[in-house]
């Protein structure tokens, strides 16, 4: 695709039985009406996007084409009747993974400048025979990255995670100082690369695991045995970080702008405050990859799929952040002054 407006952002189809084809089209329609021209490649099934356009009463032809800066890359074949199941199924899981893998290839080859991945059903992916528990693990493997860290961004919060798509019991059992330390260092690198916050100026807070930060060992010893040593290692590397701080305190500080990022130990510890404050505008950003990847923070929302009522807010912000990051990256390579990609 020739670049009409600048960088090219690829958007994967996600699970076709959910709200994603709908919110992607709504987001593009919103961008078309704004002063934010962005070249977009939709990676998926043209029939699926066409069906979603019909449901929400949006002419697909008006969005597609060089003048609009949008093209649809017909990557996978899927009977649109599958969409009407509105439940996890292997055909939808297969198609969603095919789109993601194609998007990763395009980002690595430079065919697109950033990748926005739409939500998938992990159950459907498993039904299709794929071992991946989520996007982050797939991206890590397919890009050959040593470690990938999920960061959720919304309102005043930037939250990165030591563990993500594992049961809570396993998250605690697997927790170790090395993983906490590496998450802190990758978070510091992400703040510098994506948000233009130099390491000496960064303020990173690290969550405690137990109530009241373990209360001196009365409510657990992970704080002193695992978390504090990781913080001390990070400080020796010149990273400004503090903790461990109880979750009910640290997010208040972050929301007030007193921290640039919070490192969480398990999925819901960080996802709950983000979705409380930015349910319709939060964005996932994957750190530690050679490509730029963002994603909405919501899921497939099977319960409202096909009704035309889904909000495109989070998808719109994911596209906007990907665009800002690509522009900042391009400017940086040219030696130009870059602006903080705020969110």
Q: Is residue 5 over pLDDT 70? A: no
Are 204 and 259 spatial neighbours (Cβ–Cβ below 8 Å)? yes
Q: What is the DSSP letter of 199?
A: G
**How confident is the model over 231-259, as pLDDT tens digits?**
999 999 999 999 999 999 999 999 999 99
**How confident is the model over 307-325, as pLDDT tens digits?**
989 999 999 999 999 999 9
Q: Which of the four CATH numbers 3.30.450.20, 2.30.40.10, 3.40.718.10, 1.10.3720.10 does domain 1-145+289-343 have?
A: 3.40.718.10
- Largest Cα separation within the chain, whole Å, is 65
pTM score = 0.89
Q: Which CATH architecture has domain 148-288?
A: 3-Layer(aba) Sandwich (3.40)
Beta bridge partners of 253: none
Domain ranges in the chain? 1-145+289-343, 148-288
Asked whether the domain spanning 148-288 has the same topology as the one spanning 1-145+289-343, the reply is: yes
Least confident of 150-159, 180-189, 210-219: 210-219
What is the torsion angle, in degrees rounded to the nearest 10, for the CA atoms of residue 253, residue 255, residue 259 and residue 262?
A: 100
Q: Mean of the per-residue pLDDT values for the chain?
A: 90
pLDDT at 132: 87
Task: Look up residue 292 and give its two tokens.
Answer: 């730029």
**Which class for 216: exposed (0-12), middle (13-18), buried (19 or more C-beta within 10 A)?**
exposed
Task: Give backbone dihedrals phi and psi of 262, rounded to 5 degrees, phi first.
Answer: -120, 130
């Amino acid at each position: 695709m020739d670049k009409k407006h600048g960088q090219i952002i690829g958007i994967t189809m996600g699970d076709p039985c959910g709200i994603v084809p709908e919110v992607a089209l709504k987001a593009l329609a919103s961008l078309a009406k704004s002063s934010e021209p962005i070249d977009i490649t939709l990676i998926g099934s043209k029939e699926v996007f066409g069906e979603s356009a019909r449901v929400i009463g949006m002419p697909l032809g008006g969005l597609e084409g060089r003048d609009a800066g949008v093209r649809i890359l017909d990557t996978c074949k899927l009977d649109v009747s599958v969409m009407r199941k509105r439940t996890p199924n292997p055909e939808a899981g297969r198609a969603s993974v095919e789109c993601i893998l194609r998007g990763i290839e395009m980002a690595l080859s430079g065919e697109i400048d950033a990748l926005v991945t739409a939500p998938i059903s992990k159950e459907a992916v498993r039904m299709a025979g794929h071992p991946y528990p989520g996007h982050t693990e797939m991206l890590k493997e397919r890009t050959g990255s040593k470690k990938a860290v999920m960061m959720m961004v919304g309102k005043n919060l930037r939250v990165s995670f030591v563990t993500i798509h594992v049961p809570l019991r396993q998250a605690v059992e697997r927790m170790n100082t090395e993983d906490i330390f590496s998450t802190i260092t990758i978070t510091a690198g992400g703040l510098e690369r994506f948000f233009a916050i130099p390491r000496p100026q960064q303020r990173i807070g690290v969550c405690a695991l137990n109530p009241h930060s373990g209360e001196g060992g009365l409510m657990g010893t992970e704080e002193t045995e695992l978390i504090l040593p990781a913080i001390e290692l990070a400080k020796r590397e010149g990273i400004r970080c503090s903790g461990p701080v109880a979750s009910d305190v640290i997010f208040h500080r972050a929301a007030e702008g007193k921290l640039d990022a919070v490192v969480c130990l398990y999925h819901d510890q960080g996802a709950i405050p983000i979705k409380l404050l930015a349910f319709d505008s939060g964005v996932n950003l994957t750190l530690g990859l050679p490509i730029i990847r963002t994603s909405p923070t919501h899921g497939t929302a099977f319960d409202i799929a096909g009704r035309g009522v889904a909000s495109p807010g989070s998808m719109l912000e994911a596209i906007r952040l990907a665009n800002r990051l690509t522009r900042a990256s391009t400017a940086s390579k040219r030696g130009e002054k870059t602006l903080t990609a705020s969110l």
